[in-house]
Amino acid sequence: MRTTEILTGGNDVIIQEKPLHVFTNELMNKYTHLYDVYRDEQVGDLHLPFIAVYKRRDERYMITKKIKVYGVENQQIVYGYSSTEPITEQFLKRFQETIMTSMNEYLPQNKDHMSTIFVGLIITDQQVDSKVLKEVVRFRKLKFLKYGLHGWAEIYIAIINPYEKLLKIHPKGKAFVSSLEKMLREE
């Protein structure tokens, strides 16, 4: 548990901040409204507190549902990882590779698929090195499926430090974590 001491006129006031696992649990609960949340998941060699999966399907019909004009599927998958240890560049590379190797199990193999967004969310209570933050802001992978005929997949990595109110992600991925940014500002 993190504690902060504030000195006020000779009296020491100790403010206890929430432990990291409590913040992670609150974050999981926020995702449950729109996402299917799977807790305590193992992906590759990483143990993740949660994976959140959002699926949306839209269809357009002509006159009756028997005459479908088109169908579109969009997904978003959030890999949540919580760490009380400092985040290193080696861990970041391993995390990116783990997401890239496991993404095929979430990609549907049909022509209605349009897009799947993968967000690797690293929640930490440690100071994050500037090189790691720079790599996180730079990281974005785009993969076209069957030359774009079956849609595409995007991968982003985000780092959250709730105690420093820090949230870093690639600029194009900010839309996918805007609710988390709002949550950090409210605390």
Residue 114 has pLDDT above 90, yes or no: no
Considering the chain, what percentage of its residues have pLDDT values greater than 90? Answer: 26
Rg over CA atoms, the chain? 19
Q: Which residues pair with 56 in a beta bridge?
A: 74
99 by Cβ neighbours in 10 Å (0-12 / 13-18 / 19+) ranks as buried
What would the mean pLDDT of 105-130 be, rounded to a whole number? 84
pTM value is: 0.81
Cα 38 to chain centroid distance, Å, stands at: 13
Question: Hey, which bits of the chain come out as E strands?
Answer: 3-8, 11-16, 36-43, 46-62, 64-83, 113-124, 140-144, 152-161, 166-168
Sequence ranges of the domains in the chain:
18-186
**Average of per-residue pLDDT values in the chain:** 82
**Alpha-carbon gap, residue 13 to 125, rounded angstroms:** 21
Please tell me which residue, 25 or 109, carries the higher pLDDT value: 25
Tally the residues of the chain: 187
**Alpha-carbon gap, residue 175 to 7, rounded angstroms:** 39
Residue 8 has pLDDT above 60, yes or no: no
Q: How many CB atoms lie within 10 A of CB 128?
A: 18
* Widest distance between CA atoms in the chain: 77
